Amino acid sequence: MRKRRRWRAPQFFAACGLALAFAVPSAIASPSDPLAQVRRVLATPDAQLDLARAKIAIDRLIDPRTDEAVTLRQLDSLTRAIQARIPVGASRREKLRILVDSLAQPGPWNDARPFRYDLDDPFGEDIRNKLLATYLATRKGNCVSMPILFAILAQRIGLDASLAVAPHHLFARAKVDGGQWVNIEATSFGTKTDDSYRKELNITATAIKSGIYLRTLSPKESLGVTLETLLEHYSKSGANEQRLAVADMVLKSDPRNVSAILHRGSACGRLARKRYDGQPQQALTPAQQQDLAALASCNSAAFAKAEALGWRAEQQKEKAKYRRGVNQAKLNQGRNP
């Protein structure tokens, strides 16, 4: 009996509440390829990157109905309302406090519609809930949309802001007076220390040392994080050639993006299954055998690389524990509308 090859595949979900020399070459797209927009954005120098426009461009690849003009107008209106609350000569810390308050508390600055964590979709399973336009419209977000909007608005009111990654989680960082970076847990509009993230999410010392988690991302690296939603979209739709191409682009600008590493390996495994499952090895042509070997090498090498950097697979018990916390929060919300 022919031995069935086992392919490694990670789980990708948001628990917020996630260049490598592989044997498989990067996918090459024609000028008419929709991914040309991704290449153009990634080619933009850090100093010229506009996180808002980049996020909208990426979201349009997921949902072509995304209206860039409308979304930018909403951002402009929200930015003006926040800026109007900031007194002349305010410190960076005061600006940060006002930004948090403007998002979390109802008032004329947000049309009495504060932004909230979406307890009905805590893992972002509906990918549309990770789009910026959806978050602005519903005011319900997750650990993708919430920190990205926070970073966008922080930059627009003159703060140095960025994104940072933890296992299955994304959060924002802002620089306050004295040059200190403060972690902003945008899902609850509070602050959290690196030590808290390490303990709560069981981050390994290797992962900290390698830099896959808890480092302040550059503008280009932050852009790579926003592209993870597109990778998830391609994963769910079975577009693994495009998924592989985007993962390659992300890794070119940020070799430590562990989510892109895992997506690359998973895409290779799925492509191998799609092309060769059910076919005896001896029936394959030499070219097909070479392709299968390259895909297998890509799959195994990606997971080996991720593990060497300190990544570990999510345990179902951790997801279940988080879901219990979400359910309790929903109960508490029902008691205190």
pLDDT of res. 33: 74
Task: Average pLDDT across each block of 10 residues of the chain; the chain has 337 residues. List them in order.
Answer: 58 42 35 77 92 95 95 98 97 97 97 95 89 97 96 97 95 95 95 95 95 97 96 96 96 96 97 93 93 96 97 70 58 54
Q: Are 189 and 236 in contact (CB under 8 A)?
A: no
Q: Which of 156, 155, 190 is nearest to 171 (CA)?
A: 190
pLDDT of res. 229: 96
pLDDT of res. 23: 34
Q: What is the pLDDT of residues 9-33, one digit of tens each?
A: 765 544 454 322 233 433 333 335 7
pLDDT of res. 122: 76
Rounded to whole angstroms, the Cα distance separating 292 from 281 reads 10
pLDDT of res. 34: 74
Q: What is the pLDDT of residues 233-291, one digit of tens each?
A: 999 999 999 999 999 999 999 999 999 999 999 999 999 999 999 889 889 999 999 99
Q: Are 74 and 136 in contact (CB under 8 A)?
A: yes
pLDDT of res. 30: 36
Rounded to whole angstroms, the Cα distance separating 144 from 138 reads 15
